[in-house]
Amino acid sequence: MSVPNDLLYCRSHEWIRSDGDAIVVGITHYAQDQLGEVVFVELPEVGAGVDADEELGTLESVKAVSEFLAPVAGEVLEVNERLEDEPNLVNDDPYGSGWLVKMSGAAEGDDFLDAEGYQAFLEQENG
């Protein structure tokens, strides 16, 4: 399972990358593997405000729907419009071109795991 070192992670399987005053959010390799092939991504409206741990959007596979959550409170600045025609990017390149949302905020505090921490968390979950 790929877990890049330069990112932070949530226990709900989102990853976070800092981008100036904003953060970019996506789902991890593990998460896309669990979900199966993504057929549709529902993204929030640009300008929408969200609270921490609130649903940011959903990812649909053929048989299931999964929410992805906002790691922090903030405003949606940009969404990955490529996903409308190429939802498979979430599976093929979850940390790169499969990014989901860019929002205002910073990933601070103890709620987030670094790469090692997330690895350990995954091992624990699948004990």
Residues that bind other proteins (CB under 8 A): 37, 39-40, 42, 60-65, 87-88
Q: For other proteins, give the closer residue by CB, 9 or 30.
A: 30
Q: For other proteins, give the closer residue by CB, 62 or 124.
A: 62
Tell me the backbone φ, ψ of residue 34, rounded to 5 degrees.
Answer: -65, -40
Q: For other proteins, give the closer residue by CB, 63 or 108.
A: 63
- Cβ burial of 84 (10 Å; 0-12, 13-18, 19+) is exposed
CB of 8 to other proteins, least distance (A): 28
Residue carrying the six token digits 């709900």: 12
CB of 19 to other proteins, least distance (A): 28
Asked if 57 and 100 count as a contact pair (C-beta separation under 8 A), the reply is yes
